[in-house]
Copies of this chain bind each other. A is one copy, B any other.
Amino acid sequence: MSTPDEIAELLIHLARAARAEDADAQLTPAQWTALRFLSRANTVSRTPSAFASFHATTRGTATQTLKALEAKGLIRRGDTQSDGRKVCYDLTPKGRALLAQDPLRDLTAAVAGLPPALYEALGQTMPRLVAELARRRDAPSFGTCTDCRHFEGRPQDAFCACMARMIAAPETTQLCVNFNKPDAEPPRLRD
């Protein structure tokens, strides 16, 4: 039987192997992460600050990463939605097409090929580990709206108490920077 150290080490090893660039090396690992993040984050989270928080880096570095993607024509600045300070990036069709060549697809395929029992267990385990690690590190966590304590109503009638606005149905399964576990402290953010 494996020990926790061995499992933890394999996790690191696996992630490192999966992140390794393709031979053609189209994007850096950080840029791939940003592209994936933007493809899965909802409107209020597709900002440099939110990506910096997600990627555990500084806003300055996040700006550079996103700027590089913008220069490549993979993302573009969207509507600035009321607050003139914020920048909301959107994927361009080109960016969306590039996601099909994500180096992560090998890992995705490996995960998809797991026996159903292991697959389901992994689906339960990963969010748990992420949350537990974040708890130990006091780091902000990330999750989707339907798992968030700010979420009220049903999916087709979604309302985010943190953002104080309705949420389009497709966005309730996307990542959100304001995610807050139901049992956790209320956020310092103002509603």
| A interface, CB within 8 angstroms of B | 1-2, 4-20, 33, 36, 40, 54-56, 104, 106-114, 117-118, 120-130, 132-134, 136-137, 139, 142
Contact = CB atoms under 8 A, between A and B. Distances in A.
B123 A110 contact: no
Contacts of A113: 132
Copies of this chain, whole number = 2
B12 A104 contact: yes
A26 to B, nearest CB: 16
Contacts of A7: 111, 122-123, 126
Of the candidates A10, A36, A129, the one having the most CB atoms from chain B within 10 angstroms of its own CB is A129
Contacts of A134: 17
A36 B15 CA distance: 16
A33 B12 contact: yes
A20 B56 contact: yes
A167 to B, nearest CB: 18
7 closest cross-chain pairs (CB), A and B: A15-B15, A121-B121, A4-B112, A110-B132, A10-B126, A2-B123, A4-B111
Contact of A17 (B9, B10, B130): B130
A126 B11 contact: yes
A1 B123 contact: yes
A127 to B, nearest CB: 7
Nearest to A12: B15
Given A8-B18, A13-B142, 7 more contacts: A7-B122, A9-B36, A14-B129, A17-B130, A107-B133, A110-B129, A118-B128
